[in-house]
Amino acid sequence: MHPFIEILGLKIPSYGLMMAIALITALLISYFRAKKAKLDLDIFSNMAIIAIICGLAGAYLLYIFVTYPLSEIWESIKNGSFSTFKNGGLVFYGAIIAGFLAAFIYLKIKKQRFLDYAACIVPSVPLAHAIGRVGCFLAGCCYGRCIDTPISVIYKNPIGGAPVGVPVFPIQLVESCCNIIIFIILLLYTRKNIKRRSVLFLYMLLYGIERFFLEYGRYDEIRGIFLGLSTSQWISIAMVVGGIIGFILLHRHEKLHPELYEEKLPAEGEEGYIYPDQEYADYEPDGDGEITESVEDAAEETAEAVEETAEAVEEAAEEAVKEAEAAVEEAVEAVSEEVPLKTETEN
């Protein structure tokens, strides 16, 4: 496809560019979500840096361990050549495992709730992954099976190991679309409660299932096969099981300790505290204790509405009185006509 993209005369690797865009996008979304959830932004920033560094290291190491036999890796370390570490790639699961483990340890040290921060970060992960998979497609790595379909592509100069000159199924783009769907689901899941802690386990379930089945469309089997399943499929199974267990344990913990999951409302004087009068108007007492213009406007509008209602009631009453007088007059006339008639009959 396009392993390099030329921007302002500079030849930039498309995979690296997409990785950078993915990281920046995830950081921005996570930062604004953490800010909305009123988490400690300094702790969030430090945690993000640590998670990114450890995540990249984990992705690189997992690629090495699933690509080369342990004996070959150990031999390259013993002889000091480190040859197996010189031509590495990245495996997404390695980044997820190492990144979240590093974040968990850091937040534990800082005595923060891991699931609160995870709830703000997790929804951005599948979106970043979707952008990264576009980079894989452009570079020709993580490619699909050699099969001729209406959407298959032919690589001419890939740098990621894809077969040259034959139709290849674009499994990277399929996974990218699936990840965008997961991103939308997670956003909707946390729409009413941005700190919904179970979102991490929902992601583990959704992505574990997605990745397990998409692995059958992958062709780069060098990443490791054990008992007929790839390394990523085994990790996917572990993610699904972990997601189910996480849901169950979190549900039980919420029942046993509901006070830990109740949102703490701000006290009087703290930011976000709602005064009783604010239920009806924007009440902001100033130094002299005078009411604000918004309250005055509301009072004027109420007075006008009361006056209009009184006028309407008065008009309706007048009309009713007039109708009643007319009805009485008609009744009197009818009676006066009937009385003489009866007198004449009696005579």
pLDDT in tens, 16-49: 888 889 989 999 999 999 888 888 889 989 999 9
Residue range 176-180: mean pLDDT, rounded: 94
Adjacent-strand bridge partners of 226: 229
Q: State the CB neighbour count (10 A cutoff) for residue 88.
A: 15
What's the whole-model pTM score?
0.68
Angle at 238 between CA 87 and CA 71, to 5 degrees: 35
Contact (Cβ atoms closer than 8 angstroms) between residue 154 and residue 166 = yes
Residue range 66-71: mean pLDDT, rounded: 72
Backbone angles phi, psi at 274, to 5 degrees: -105, 120
**Alpha carbons 303 and 70: distance in angstroms, whole number:** 84
Which is higher by pLDDT, 236 or 285? Answer: 236
Which helix (H) or strand (E) segment holds residue 154: the answer is: strand 153-154
Confidence of residue 345 (pLDDT cuts 50, 70, 90): very low
Does residue 182 register a pLDDT over 90? yes
**Residue 321, C-beta contacts closer than 8 angstroms, at least 6 positions apart:** none
**Residue 106, C-beta contacts closer than 8 angstroms, at least 6 positions apart:** 46, 47, 50, 51
Does residue 115 register a pLDDT over 70? yes
Does residue 322 register a pLDDT over 60? yes
Does residue 340 register a pLDDT over 50? yes
**Alpha carbons 284 and 281: distance in angstroms, whole number:** 9
| 323, two tokens | 């109708």
The Cα-based distances of 239 to 105, 203, 244, 316, 322 in angstroms read 19, 9, 9, 72, 82
* Burial classification of residue 202, based on how many CB atoms lie within 10 Å of its CB (0-12 exposed, 13-18 middle, 19 or more buried): buried
**What is the pLDDT of the chain when averaged over all its residues?**
77
Sign of the Cα torsion 309, 313, 319, 320 reads: positive
| 23, two tokens | 């990281």
**Alpha carbons 116 and 166: distance in angstroms, whole number:** 47
Find the distance separating the first CA and the last CA of the chain, reported in whole Å. Answer: 122
pLDDT above 90: percentage of residues in the chain: 20
pLDDT the model gives residue 221: 58
**Residue 201, C-beta contacts closer than 8 angstroms, at least 6 positions apart:** 242, 243, 244, 246, 247, 250
Adjacent-strand bridge partners of 5: 12
Q: Where are the domains of the chain?
A: 4-201, 289-342
Q: What is the pLDDT of residues 247-291, one digit of tens each?
A: 888 888 777 766 555 555 455 555 554 555 554 444 445 444 444
Backbone angles phi, psi at 51, to 5 degrees: -65, -40
